[in-house]
Homo-oligomer: A and B are copies of this chain.
């Protein structure tokens, strides 16, 4: 099956928003083995929308449309599809009740406009919207499938995932199952080399890698009759790859490294304090993204100045004099200092040069030290990072969470 994703909305053509829906739907369709051949975007204009829909129906089996299901006169998607396919719009009572219930829940009066959203093409499969007023729908017509979903991603994504994907899987008669293995500390090409024999020998399970922002994802995909069968086919590959990647593999559930490490702290009740220089609070801000983290994270210090390193963290003046603020020695004393002051299980510190100023031949931009102090010593990681200020800071954060994760694993292993 091949597909076109057709987004409707002048705000996309004005450049006010970016078409992330197309990316989301493309990924999901590729995951279940549907080939996406085209993306298109057209404005809220009846003639051009009609032409775009005809073009899409002419060249693809499946057309997934997003947007244009709102309550105003501008919103023309259902009307245009009905016209093109020769269908009537009929009132869907359940949708009307859901819309009306939605308005009483948020304590607002429902207008006649909103009732328009409950009219759907006859004989369609209704796609429920639990996060907004506009229902979506699926229409089968002359061997083609048209799917219509609302534009806001928070409404579209669960509707696509919960209703459209299972519908398409059922249509195809098989189930595509994917596992996402997340890796840190191994580059994409090195990773591919490590798995080359598996990639070359792949038959029922396909293996693909993606790199983004210093992290790599391995996708294992199987096409089977049931989810269980698919997972069973994937498992030996997953185990083999896991044994080759060792502790560079940090999640088999497509989670972020920061999340995995923060959750390990919470689950194991390991308390942490932070002392940041060049990251300026990014590590603590990332830690505190996690709801409930206050159980293990009590305090952090941002010590940009030498005075702060001495006064708040107890770094010795001699250390700063002899080795400088950006040194493994200073990093160690920062981590040990904050750990002691906060009486936590671990103390984590960062000092480095994020640029664009401040680099020297001896200590170039991108030189960063991370220290992790615990009850039996202090571990140091030296980084020499390339890129701009923002990349250097972000890569430092990832490395810090990698150190946290490996420390907790060591405790458990």
CB <8 Å contact, A15 and B30: yes
Chain A interface residue bracket vs B: 35 or more
A167: Cβ under 8 A from any B Cβ: no
CB <8 Å contact, B18 and A19: yes
CB under 8 Å from chain B, chain A span 1-49 = 7, 12-20, 22-28, 30, 36-43, 45, 48
Report the separation of the CA atoms of residues A52 and B18 in the bound assembly, to the nearest whole angstrom: 21
- Chain B residue nearest to A20 (CB atoms) is B18
Given A14-B30, A274-B302, A302-B274: A41 and B39 within 8 A (CB)?
A: yes
The contact string, 1 if C-beta is below 8 Å from chain B, for chain A 276-308, is 101111111101110111100111111111011
A130: Cβ under 8 A from any B Cβ: no
Report the separation of the CA atoms of residues A143 and B303 in the bound assembly, to the nearest whole angstrom: 62
A312: Cβ under 8 A from any B Cβ: yes
**CB within 8 A of A299: which of B40, B292, B303?**
B303
Measured between beta carbons, the chain B residues less than 8 angstroms from A210 are 16
Each complex incorporates copies of this chain amounting to: 2
Measured between beta carbons, the chain B residues less than 8 angstroms from A287 are 280-281
The contact string, 1 if C-beta is below 8 Å from chain B, for chain A 137-154, is 000000000000000000
CB under 8 Å from chain B, chain A span 48-94 = 48, 51-52, 55, 59
CB under 8 Å from chain B, chain A span 242-279 = 274, 276, 278-279
**CB within 8 A of A301: which of B18, B302, B305?**
B302
* Shortest beta-carbon distance from A153 to chain B in Å: 12
* Shortest beta-carbon distance from A3 to chain B in Å: 9
Where the two chains meet, the residues of A that have a C-beta atom closer than 8 Å to any C-beta of B are 7, 12-20, 22-28, 30, 36-43, 45, 48, 51-52, 55, 59, 210, 274, 276, 278-285, 287-289, 291-294, 297-305, 307-308, 311-312, 341-342, 355-357, 389-390
* Shortest beta-carbon distance from A68 to chain B in Å: 15
CB <8 Å contact, A300 and B302: yes
CB <8 Å contact, B38 and A22: no
CB <8 Å contact, A307 and B312: no
Known: A12-B39, A14-B36. 13 other contacts (CB 8 A): A12-B23, A16-B210, A19-B19, A37-B48, A38-B52, A39-B39, A280-B288, A281-B283, A281-B287, A298-B307, A299-B301, A299-B312, A301-B301
CB <8 Å contact, A281 and B285: yes
Shortest 8 CB-CB contacts between residues of A and residues of B: A280-B288, A281-B281, A15-B27, A15-B26, A281-B284, A300-B302, A299-B308, A39-B41
Measured between beta carbons, the chain B residues less than 8 angstroms from A28 are 15
Measured between beta carbons, the chain B residues less than 8 angstroms from A294 are 304-305
What are 18 contact pairs spanning A and B, CB under 8 A?
A13-B26, A13-B36, A13-B38, A15-B23, A18-B20, A22-B41, A37-B42, A37-B48, A38-B41, A276-B281, A280-B281, A280-B285, A280-B287, A280-B288, A284-B302, A293-B304, A299-B308, A301-B301
Which of A210, A300, A312 counts the most B-chain CB atoms under 10 A from its CB? A300
Report the separation of the CA atoms of residues A278 and B285 in the bound assembly, to the nearest whole angstrom: 9
Report the separation of the CA atoms of residues A317 and B97 in the bound assembly, to the nearest whole angstrom: 53
* Shortest beta-carbon distance from A301 to chain B in Å: 6
**CB within 8 A of A13: which of B37, B55, B279?**
B37
